[in-house]
Structure 1
Amino acid sequence: MQISKHFIKKHILDRPSSVQKPLHYSISSTGSLSPDYQITSPVLQICVCPSASGCITSFAHQMIDIRFLRPQRRLFSITSASKLPPPEKINKRHNVKGKQFSSKLTVKERALIVEAIKHDDGGSSLDWQLNKVAERLSVDCLSQIFSVLNGQRVSGLPMFIWVLNMKRDLYRNSNFCSLIIDNCGWLGDYETMSSILNDLKSKNLCLTSKAFSFLPVLNSTNSLLMESIAKLIQVLDKVGGSSRSSGIIGMIEMLCKSEAFEMADFVMNITERKPQYYKVVIREKCKKCHFQDARKTLEDMRHFLCEPDVNIYNYLLSSLCKNRKLAEALSVCEEMKNNGNHPNSLTFDIFIHFTAREGMLHAATEFLNEMINMGLEPRFSTHAVIIKGFLHSGRLEESKEYGIDSEVVEYHQRHRNMIYCLLACFHQQKGDILRARIILIKMMDKSLRPNLSVYRRVFNQLKNDGHEELARDLKNRFSSFTLESCVAVTAITT
């Protein structure tokens, strides 16, 4: 896709002026240039001629901008005199006929787009079909279209170029960019793939695992797969930048999703071993519940002097707890400590949330106390999950003792207001409106202002239940509390 200075000099600068004509190029299935497409800008045709020597010089040093590739018959990519319909604008709830609007393309609409791509001859058929559904085009819709094109080994480049010109928001989407790379892979068109990767790198766009579905993971031998991987890595190494860094991660993720973990290790073996690569491997093994293999991967990291950090351990701990393997999670936590990785707030949150939701509230409070002793401050959600555990298990007095009188909560003053409101809201929802009122009163006695929405719910329910006097008393307390707060603020600011 790169035009050399020799080519420019031989075919343009040395030509007689009488035969100087605009040059037309296209990308063939092998990635070479052929005289079927012309280079245009979004407004007018660019003619390469000796009078524009400055443009030619700069043009010789950079890649062809793939946005400006257009079939030969299209002298203008966008013109005011175009007979093409404007991109469809539709009410998000109803179309012009008043029927319920669907954000997805119908099977017929997708089939018409595929046929227009297959028979794209530079006319307006493809633009017509895409403009009609422009407002409903999404990455998912385009993915379905690319899937059909890949199966029939048809290039999706014409549709990709239309998106570049008409749907810039989609072009900035990593999943969409990955679809065209995957399409080039199915066609074996690595030269075009390299050109697009360079364009993505210049805009600092990244790839995802969707870019590598063409790799023959399921229907080939290991040797053939290794050969395909090595060839692709050569392309990524040559391009570099964000395309290379995100491409390696995306390739490892795709291989792991296909359970080709040996091939993922092969990728790291011929590139480099980095913690972010191992994170992907461990994450995918945890998703598939291969926990012993995930622990072996941690050993491999240490063997290759690539020490796992606490975040990698936390992902494994979280997956073990989600699958109710608490004993194994505690074993991994001890292993983490022995290897010099100290638990952080997230580590304790994982154990506290799991034990509290499983009804092991004594263990949850022990984890909380250990967390505080290490100087880590619990989040509100950490306190809340313990209180909810007490409440849902019917241990109301213990929840009251923890939420209102606990030294743990008193220690973290900024959480006290939210915890009181949580307790009041719970009792109000359970129908114990009198207990909810008492909690709000205790809040205000300790100079804590109740949440307005919680106060209103309790006040309204007291009135509805016929407790007029109690509702009036609560209103007076809240009003005087609000007035005192306003006076205090005024005194501070004056």
Structure 2
Amino acid sequence: MRALGIPVLKERDRKRFGRKLGKLLVGLKGLLNSEKISALRFYKWIKDSRPGLGRNYDICSLIVDNCGRLKDYETMTCTLNEFSKKGICLTQNSFLFIPELATDEDSLKNYVSEVVMILNGVGGTCRSSGVGSLIQMFSSLGSFKMAKFVMEITEMNTTYYNIMIKETCRRCDIEGSRALVHEMRQLGCKPNVTTYNLFFSNLCKSGERAEELLKEIKGMDCSPNELTFEIIISHLCKVGKFDFAIELLDNMMLWGLKPRLTTHAVFVKGFFKVRRYEEAHKYVVDASFKHSYSSNAVYSLFADLYLKEKDLVSAQAIISEMIEKGLRPSIRVYMTLLKGLQSIGRHEEARDLEKRFSSLDFEDRITEMG
């Protein structure tokens, strides 16, 4: 495998490995397809030498695409059966041969129909992921008409519509999102909370007014979830409407929802970014009182933001406040502050911090014994 440029996979090298693998697959795909060579021997070698890679979705999708380019549907069917038994899912790269080989709309539909027929016969994970990947591929190409054709010959459902709505969000096409949600309702595909979360994210990108966003929430066909509120709160904080965002946060309680840690982070970072430090501090204190599950994380984040500004004094004050309340700072934030104090010669304060932090461990042990 090293001859092909694939290193031994380690946790810390995962992203670098992904990039190397991506470049390798692009090169192999071009070579195999231009020479009209079957990729099965390559796949067999991969399975034998690195069994884990034999289940890699990108590699498996390359094999399916290669079969399609060679118009070897018999081998494609056998391969998909093998993949489905192993629980392997397909990506949109499995079907890139379709738009590239099709000469007109009729041939495009013929290719799609043939592939769907194979997927229906195979079933399992390849069928479910394959149909979704076809819709995703056509949506990403801007061919929503073909994406809908895939649904026409399979089934109309909310999950498939959400794939198209996600693409309209990526394109910041608010009218496209709105039209798809309306179409779903007409066809009896009830929008779910994912549908609305995608739609709201698009509304926020388009700069929709907060009042309109709240009106949309009230008009939902289903109950919002924590992410629904976070999407809108994030937008409100970004445009400086903190009071409105706080009001929306309070409204979450009426729905029986608890803010996610990332929602609290949006507020703290938002206040900090515009240098409204006192309000950030007040928010942290209030959040730790109302939502005790978030106390350690929110306080640690606040201290960390000060550390990133090289403001050791403020960070130290926040960490001290935490410890006084019996809260445990993030070990990373604690160590950064400790080393920072030591580096500027404030050794006595560093020792005091160590002593106070150690007292938390002692208190924990006493609690466990009790």
TM, length-normalised to structure 2: 0.84
State the AA in 1 paired with 2:295: R
Unmatched segments (≥5 aa) in structure 2? 9-15
Unmatched segments (≥5 aa) in structure 1? 1-85, 94-101, 106-135
Please report how far the alpha carbon of residue 210 of structure 1 lies from its aligned counterpart in structure 2 after TM superposition.
1.1
For the pair 1:402 / 2:283, whether they are aligned, the reply is yes
Provide the secondary structure at the position in 2 that maps to 1:377: coil
The answer as to whether partners of 2:46 and 2:53 remain within 8 angstroms in 1 is yes
Distance in 2 (CA, whole Å) between partners of 1:452 and 1:206 is 38
Distance in 1 (CA, whole Å) between partners of 2:180 and 2:320 is 55
Distance in 2 (CA, whole Å) between partners of 1:441 and 1:326 is 41
State the AA in 2 paired with 1:325: G
What is aligned with 1:385?
266
Please report how far the alpha carbon of residue 348 of structure 1 lies from its aligned counterpart in structure 2 after TM superposition.
0.8
For the pair 1:280 / 2:158, whether they are aligned, the reply is no
State the AA in 1 paired with 2:39: G
Distance in 2 (CA, whole Å) between partners of 1:367 and 1:294 is 24
Provide the secondary structure at the position in 2 that maps to 1:216: helix
Distance in 2 (CA, whole Å) between partners of 1:240 and 1:432 is 59
Distance in 2 (CA, whole Å) between partners of 1:464 and 1:398 is 30
What is aligned with 2:255?
374
What is aligned with 1:364?
245
Please report how far the alpha carbon of residue 239 of structure 1 lies from its aligned counterpart in structure 2 after TM superposition.
2.7
Please report how far the alpha carbon of residue 170 of structure 1 lies from its aligned counterpart in structure 2 after TM superposition.
2.6
The answer as to whether partners of 1:208 and 1:246 remain within 8 angstroms in 2 is yes
Out of 267, 290, 296, which is 2:150 matched to? 267
Distance in 1 (CA, whole Å) between partners of 2:250 and 2:327 is 25
Please report how far the alpha carbon of residue 466 of structure 1 lies from its aligned counterpart in structure 2 after TM superposition.
5.8
Where does 1:309-320 land on structure 2 (aligned, <5 Å)? 309-320=192-203
Out of 193, 207, 218, which is 1:325 matched to? 207
Identity %: 35
State the AA in 1 paired with 2:255: M
Distance in 2 (CA, whole Å) between partners of 1:416 and 1:291 is 37
Please report how far the alpha carbon of residue 217 of structure 1 lies from its aligned counterpart in structure 2 after TM superposition.
6.0
Check 1:220–1:395 CA distance in 2 against 1; reply closer, same or farther (3 A cut): same
Please report how far the alpha carbon of residue 355 of structure 1 lies from its aligned counterpart in structure 2 after TM superposition.
2.2
What is aligned with 2:13?
none
Distance in 2 (CA, whole Å) between partners of 1:457 and 1:162 is 47
For the pair 1:435 / 2:329, whether they are aligned, the reply is no
What is aligned with 1:243?
126
Please report how far the alpha carbon of residue 308 of structure 1 lies from its aligned counterpart in structure 2 after TM superposition.
1.2
Distance in 2 (CA, whole Å) between partners of 1:204 and 1:479 is 48
Where does 1:191-340 land on structure 2 (aligned, <5 Å)? 191-216=74-99, 220-321=103-204, 323-327=205-209, 331=212, 334-335=215-216, 337-340=218-221
The answer as to whether partners of 1:212 and 1:251 remain within 8 angstroms in 2 is yes
Please report how far the alpha carbon of residue 428 of structure 1 lies from its aligned counterpart in structure 2 after TM superposition.
4.2
Please report how far the alpha carbon of residue 293 of structure 1 lies from its aligned counterpart in structure 2 after TM superposition.
1.4
Distance in 2 (CA, whole Å) between partners of 1:209 and 1:227 is 18
Check 1:411–1:219 CA distance in 2 against 1; reply closer, same or farther (3 A cut): same
Distance in 2 (CA, whole Å) between partners of 1:103 and 1:339 is 43
Distance in 1 (CA, whole Å) between partners of 2:290 and 2:200 is 28
Out of 299, 303, 313, which is 1:420 matched to? 299
TM, length-normalised to structure 1: 0.64
Check 1:91–1:155 CA distance in 2 against 1; reply closer, same or farther (3 A cut): closer
- Aligned pairs, how many? 363
The answer as to whether partners of 1:217 and 1:255 remain within 8 angstroms in 2 is no
Distance in 2 (CA, whole Å) between partners of 1:158 and 1:479 is 59
Distance in 2 (CA, whole Å) between partners of 1:143 and 1:193 is 20
Out of 231, 234, 246, which is 1:353 matched to? 234
What is aligned with 1:50?
none
The answer as to whether partners of 1:443 and 1:450 remain within 8 angstroms in 2 is yes
The answer as to whether partners of 1:217 and 1:225 remain within 8 angstroms in 2 is no
CA offsets 1:106-144 (integer angstroms, 9 cap, x no match): xxxxxxxxxxxxxxxxxxxxxxxxxxxxxx8x4642342
Provide the secondary structure at the position in 1 that maps to 2:257: coil
Which protein is bigger by CA-based radius of gyration?
1
Provide the secondary structure at the position in 1 that maps to 2:223: coil
For the pair 1:447 / 2:329, whether they are aligned, the reply is no
For the pair 1:153 / 2:153, whether they are aligned, the reply is no
Provide the secondary structure at the position in 1 that maps to 2:99: coil
Distance in 1 (CA, whole Å) between partners of 2:64 and 2:334 is 56
Please report how far the alpha carbon of residue 433 of structure 1 lies from its aligned counterpart in structure 2 after TM superposition.
3.5
Please report how far the alpha carbon of residue 244 of structure 1 lies from its aligned counterpart in structure 2 after TM superposition.
2.3
Distance in 1 (CA, whole Å) between partners of 2:227 and 2:17 is 39
CA offsets 1:238-276 (integer angstroms, 9 cap, x no match): 333333222211211221222211111111112211222
Distance in 2 (CA, whole Å) between partners of 1:460 and 1:87 is 40
Distance in 1 (CA, whole Å) between partners of 2:87 and 2:72 is 22
The answer as to whether partners of 2:174 and 2:206 remain within 8 angstroms in 1 is no
The answer as to whether partners of 2:190 and 2:221 remain within 8 angstroms in 1 is no
If each structure's helix is expressed as a fraction of its own residues, which one has the higher value?
A: 2
Distance in 2 (CA, whole Å) between partners of 1:159 and 1:461 is 53
Check 1:398–1:222 CA distance in 2 against 1; reply closer, same or farther (3 A cut): same
Distance in 2 (CA, whole Å) between partners of 1:475 and 1:368 is 36
State the AA in 1 paired with 2:29: F
The answer as to whether partners of 1:215 and 1:229 remain within 8 angstroms in 2 is yes
The answer as to whether partners of 1:217 and 1:258 remain within 8 angstroms in 2 is no
Check 1:453–1:245 CA distance in 2 against 1; reply closer, same or farther (3 A cut): closer
What is aligned with 1:24?
none
